[in-house]
Amino acid sequence: MNIPAELKFTKTDEWVKVEGNIATIGVSDFAQEQLSDVVFVEIVPGVGETVKAGGAAATLESVKAAADVNLPVSGKVTAVNAALADKPETVNTDPYGAAWMLKIELSNPAEVAALMDAAAYEAFCKERGH
């Protein structure tokens, strides 16, 4: 299981990479592994929308299940990865790279500090039997 050290994580398996005041969001390797083959991705908010932590970021469907992706931070959506609609399998093959879902201009950077670091997330995944 891949858990990049520079990322922050949520208990619902989203990751956040912060560069300046922009947060890039996606789902973790653990999440894509649990879902298996992702066949559909729908990103909920559009560019320019203001979003709140805990809201809906995306819906993923796999051959096994459907899953909601939650927003780990609040702010204004600056970019949406529209390519995932045509290549949903990218979530499985490159969860921390090409499968990013949203970029958000942070309105409350303190929310990032409340997220788990890589070590805490790894321990959390182990608690769940992984």
In the chain, what are the domain boundaries? Answer: 13-110
13-110, CATH topology level: OB fold (Dihydrolipoamide Acetyltransferase, E2P) (2.40.50)
What share of the chain in percent tops pLDDT 90?
95
Q: Which amino acid is it at 86?
A: D
DSSP 12-43: TSEEEEEETTEEEEEE-HHHHHHH-SEEEEEE
**pTM to 2 decimals?**
0.95
Quickly state the pLDDT bin for 57 (edges 50, 70, 90).
very high
Tokens representing 123?
């321990």
Average pLDDT along the chain? 96
Q: Averaged over 34-38, what is the pLDDT? A: 94
| Per-residue model confidence as pLDDT tens digits over 65-118 | 899 999 999 999 999 999 999 999 999 999 999 999 999 999 999 999 999 999
Does an H or E element contain 84, and which?
helix 83-86
pLDDT of 129 > 80? The answer is: no
Quickly state the pLDDT bin for 64 (edges 50, 70, 90).
confident
- CB-based contacts of 126: which residues, under 8 Å, 6+ apart? none
